[in-house]
Amino acid sequence: QVQLVESGGGLVQPGGSLRLSCAASERSLSGYTLAWFRQAPGKEREFVSAIRWSGGTTYYADSVKGRFAISKDNAQKAVNLQMNSLRPEDTAVYYCAGSYGVIVSSTYNPNMYRHWGQGTQVTVSS
């Protein structure tokens, strides 16, 4: 069972930046897709970004394109989400998710991910 541990959430003013990290316990992540989802109070969990460990293909929700950047750290077996130009509507609990064998068309679907982190709160407020 792969364990995912997130870190890096917090409170930031609008326009500010935060960096989230997600460390995976698995020794080999070949064929693994790691993604970030978020859930605001009273709303459904929504896709934010994803990266395929093999090849490094990245995916972004339209709402975060140009502001967020996902990257992987091979040595640390971790994925990072750099969030810039944060807006109040980015406020949510951010979850790291991962799974093997996620096909491209299912990248945005939270039901396709088997492993989940505990979540980290991101609050954007003045």
Q: Which amino acid is at 8?
A: G
DSSP string, 77-126: TEEEEEE-S--GGG-EEEEEEEEES--GGGTT-GGG--EE---EEEEE--
Distances (CA, A) of 62 to 18, 34, 78: 19, 18, 24
- Mean pLDDT for the stretch of residues 9-18: 97
Please report, in angstroms and rounded to a whole number, the separation of the first and last CA atoms in the chain.
Answer: 40
- Mean pLDDT (the chain) is 95
- DSSP H or E segment with residue 59: strand 58-60
Q: Does the pLDDT value for residue 72 go beyond 90?
A: yes
Tokens for 52?
A: 């395929």
Q: What is the pLDDT of residue 14?
A: 98
What percent of the chain stands above pLDDT 90?
A: 87
Q: Give the closest residue to 49 by CA, choosing from 76, 19, 29, 27.
A: 19
Q: pLDDT for 43-68, tens place per residue?
A: 999 999 999 999 899 999 999 999 99
Cβ distance 23 to 117 under 8 Å? no
d(CA 12, CA 17): 7
pLDDT beyond 90 at 1? no
Report the distance separating Cα 116 and Cα 108, nearest Å.
Answer: 15
